[in-house]
Amino acid sequence: MLDLLQQTNTRKVVIIGPESTGKSTLTQQLAAHFHTSFADEYARVYLETLGRPYVQADLPLIAAGQLQLEEQAVARAKHGLTFLDTDLYVIKVWSENKYGVCDPAVLEQIARRRYDLYLLTDIDMLWVDDPLREHGAPEMRQYFFNIYLDLVQRSGTPFTIISGNPEQRLQQAIAVVNVL
């Protein structure tokens, strides 16, 4: 598969964070604002059609689907910019949390991927229950936020924490992306 994420000048902005923190909404709003492409979170698409609880063997398949959506978003990008609703760090976090390990192929892809900016969504939004969401307790939301914060800090990629109500989040994100 052609690795467009490595062979393009398109800036890639990843919206990352715990469950139910407005990632998908913010991703779509930013793409609309900047008139460009975005990649959905593939895990949601995969799990909605799975028909059974996911197992560890599903996670590399979800990772491959996420990479495919990212490459498609890069190919459709306008103005040298695209937005990604999560990246493979999410697979890593879920795999390590639920199974204690992460598939080496997923870790290899994480090491190879380069992004230009992370927007880390804060947990200051109300939890919205959803059959695909697993960790709504406040202490679990904080736990996962701390994991994502550590990951983006160690990634070497610039990041900003996005918080507040939906309009404040959008305006913060637009301002950060404009600097990019």
Q: pTM of the full predicted structure?
A: 0.90
> In a 3-state reduction of DSSP, which class is residue 135?
coil
Alpha-carbon gap, residue 67 to 61, rounded angstroms: 10
In CATH terms, the superfamily for domain 9-179 is: P-loop containing nucleotide triphosphate hydrolases (3.40.50.300)
> And the tokens for 45?
């698409």
Q: How many residues does the chain have?
A: 180
In what side-by-side order are the strands of the sheet with 37-39? 37-39, 81-85, 11-16, 117-121, 159-162
Q: List the chain pLDDT tens, one digit each, 180 residues.
A: 334 444 468 999 999 999 889 999 999 999 999 999 999 999 988 988 998 888 999 999 999 999 999 999 999 999 999 999 999 999 999 999 999 999 999 999 999 999 999 999 999 986 556 655 566 577 989 999 999 999 999 999 999 999 999 999 999 999 999 998
The secondary structure of 41-59, three-state, reads CHHHHHHHHHCCCCCCCHH
Domain extent listing, the chain? 9-179
